[in-house]
Structure 1
Amino acid sequence: MSHTDSDIALTGAGSRGEPESAKRRDIIDGARRVFFDKGFDGASMDEVARAASVSKATIYVYFESKEELFEALVLNDRARSAEHLFDVNAATSDIDGLLRHIGTTFMRMMVQPDHIRLVRMVIGVAEKFPRIGRSFFDAGPCRGGERLAQLLREQADLGHLVLDDDREAAHIFFNLCQGRIGKALLFGDTTVPTEAQIAETVDRAVRVFLAAYGTARPA
């Protein structure tokens, strides 16, 4: 059974601590289109309402402000990315293949135009709304670092790595994978890297990482 805007308003179904509803997803999807087209400052709740095919009153049932809606968009996109990044066999003995898979998947996400636009928007609003910047950092780099650190710990337990600080090692790996590509795109390079360029950068990152943390490194 479908709900009208008035039905939702009467139920008071909110976003805080409750399962995501179809209506909330529609609002976030509409907001994504508007924010990516207009930017944070240029976007209005009226435009989001039109893009999501809901009333503006319905948006305020789920989100108290444009800032909260943008924060929800940021968290939603980071959660989607994490689902694909760590779909791996953590118990594998092929540490080289594991790191290449994670690094390649990571870089394919990092070079997406929508990701670049989102990062730029977050940086642009972080000074005025630091909570949004912290949310992005916690849901993206920090969560990804924690997940990779866990995988690296498991690989160390299997005897494939020697770690002094698993969290720091995880962030070092992600930074190595980005090389110059990530920053170049962030600061205006419009040349989307090819699969071969991504593979070359990740290959270099894996070799450097294993030279530092692999069990075959020089004494």
Structure 2
Amino acid sequence: MVVKTRRGHPTEAQSRAVRQQLREAAVAMFLDRGYDGTSMEAIAEAAGVTKRTLYSRYPDKRAVFLDVIPWAFTRAVENDPISRVNGNDLRAALIAIGRGALKRALEPDIVRLHLIARVEAHRFPEFSVGAENLGWATRQRQLMDLLRRHADAGAIEVDDIELAAEHFLAMVEAFPARLAEFGIYRSHKSQQRHITHAVDLFLRGALPR
């Protein structure tokens, strides 16, 4: 005997699962086809849901984009494995943090997320600035803790720990990440040279005179 179940509102868990499906599908479509090349119909099809289900959560494609791109950056940050570093050797710790930051910045999905955020920033000023900085959040906190520890010990002189950490990450990531958006990747040897030069330049400005 087949037992018929009563249809009703989806449970909270089911709603979360559908939202996750929609977000993942939408991000994949935007990264693959761009904003203009993606339709609501294509998102619904990729997510395996009806258009009615999609429209019940998002009124239009703009609303989808505004939700899923910042979400994708946030998820990338949360999934970013931060390796422990030996904080006693400041130079070695900075090199390790720099390597991790650059490796993450050059991951294909991260490069594409930054690229689409930058390309579409004129349409979505609501998140363009935040999207540029989301990728630094966890690593910047790690770096700030390291710098604060050495500043408290008198090993370095840094007036603004937060700004110093931001500048260091910019030196390490910004230019290689921009090259990657054009499909240009430096050799491993060149990347290591880039990191050590950034570390030494940073330290020359931070060490007590």
TM tier, smaller: 0.7 to 0.9
**In 2: Cα distance, 1:38 partner to 1:212 partner:** 44
Give the superposed CA RMSD. 3.0
Q: 1:185 to 1:34 in 2, by over 3 A?
A: same
User: Which is worse superposed, 166-175 or 65-74?
Assistant: 65-74
1:208 paired residue among 201, 204, 208 = 201
Aligned residue among 93, 96, 110 for 2:91: 96
CA distance in 2, matches of 1:173, 1:114: 23
Match of 1:47 in 2: 42
Q: What secondary structure sits across from 2:88 in the alignment? A: coil
Partner of 2:30: 35
Q: Which amino acid aligns with 1:194?
A: S
Alignment of 1:141-180 (within 5 A): 141=136, 145=140, 148-178=143-173, 180=175
Query: Partner residue of 2:188?
Result: 195
Offset of residue 84 of structure 1: 5.6
Cα gap change, 1:162 to 1:173, in 2 (>3 Å): same
Judge conservation of contact 2:104–2:110 (CA < 8 Å) in 1: yes
Counterpart residue type for residue 194 of structure 2: T
Does the 8 Å contact 1:111/1:193 carry over to 2? no
The question of whether the paired residues in 2 share the 8 Å contact of 1:91 and 1:155 is answered with no
Distance 1:137 1:112 in 2: 15
Which amino acid in 1 is paired with 2:195? V
Does the CA-based 8 Å contact 2:158-2:206 persist in structure 1?
A: yes
Change in Cα spacing, 1:181 to 1:134, as seen in structure 2 (3 Å) is closer
TM-score by length of 1: 0.76
Are 2:179 and 2:185, in contact at CA under 8 Å, matched by a contact in 1? no
Amino acid at match of 1:37: D
Task: Give identity over the alignment, percent.
Answer: 24
Alignment of 1:24 onto 2:19: yes
Alignment of structure 1 residues 132-147 onto 2, 5 Å: 132-137=127-132, 139-141=134-136, 145=140
CA distance in 1, matches of 2:154, 2:86: 11
Judge which range, 53-62 or 115-124, deviates more.
53-62
1:90–1:194 Cα change, 3 Å: closer
Query: Offset at 1:75?
Result: 2.6
Check the 8 A contact 2:27/2:72 in 1, yes or no. Answer: no
Which structure 1 segments of 5+ residues have no match? 1-5
Equivalent residues of 2:82, 2:100 under 8 A apart: no
For residues 179 and 34 of structure 1, what CA distance do their matches in structure 2 show?
Answer: 26
Counterpart-to-counterpart distance in 1, 2:158 and 2:53: 50
The answer for unaligned runs of 5 or more in structure 2 is 1-6
Task: Please name the residue that 2:111 is paired with.
Answer: 116
- Higher Cα Rg, which structure: 2
Distance 1:88 1:141, change over 3 A: closer
- Deviation per CA, 1:115-153: give whole Å up to 9, x if none: 222222112222122103134145335675455334422
Structure-1 residue corresponding to 2:74: 79
The count of corresponding residues between Structure 1 and Structure 2 is: 202
Per-residue CA deviations over 1:181-210 (Å, capped at 9, x if unaligned) read: 223233x2x232333322221111111111
Q: Give the TM-score normalised by structure 2.
A: 0.79
In 2, the alpha carbon distance for the partners of 1:175 and 1:138 equals: 10
